[in-house]
Amino acid sequence: MPDSLKLQVHDLEVEVLTGVYSEETHLPQPLRISVTADIDLPERFEPDTPLRASKNYMDIKHAATDGLPKDVHFTLVEAVAEHICDTLFVGDARVQRVEVRIVKLAIAEQGESIGITLVRERK
């Protein structure tokens, strides 16, 4: 099994224009977004290894927050996840796989997590 590096940013709460039903389409909805990005890694990480040998976590956070267009209505949360994946793939050729988990906070009735997980690999 090859070595791998998974960078993770979990439990971001983001307001996104998304939804199918009329009560969902006019205001942003709160989503909890978690992202895991698998990247190519160097042979080893030594104590003095520079940041450029890995990926800045803030790039992942940006893809799931400010990188989402504020003026676009995503009918499905799956499309929100696709946008995050695309942003990470375009931004860094070392990103080989992205997993995005989205929980729709507004539809929970008893604290349950209702949502999707999308996994994409670089093609």
- Which CA distances in Å does 80 have to 1, 4, 72? 31, 26, 10
pLDDT single digits (tens) 9-66: 999 999 999 988 767 677 899 999 999 999 998 888 999 999 888 899 999 999 999 9
Reference 17, options 104, 87, 109, 85; nearest CA is: 104
Q: What's the average model confidence in pLDDT over 1-15?
A: 92
Q: How far is residue 72's CA from residue 103's CA, in Å, rounded to a whole number?
A: 19
Residue 121 has pLDDT above 90, yes or no: yes
Q: pLDDT > 90: what percent of the chain?
A: 76
Is residue 25 helix, strand or coil? Answer: coil
Say if CB 60 and CB 37 are below 8 A apart: yes
Domains detected in the chain: 5-43+52-121 (3.30.1130.10)
Check residue 26 and give its pLDDT: 77
- What pTM did the predictor assign? 0.92
Higher pLDDT, 99 or 42: 99
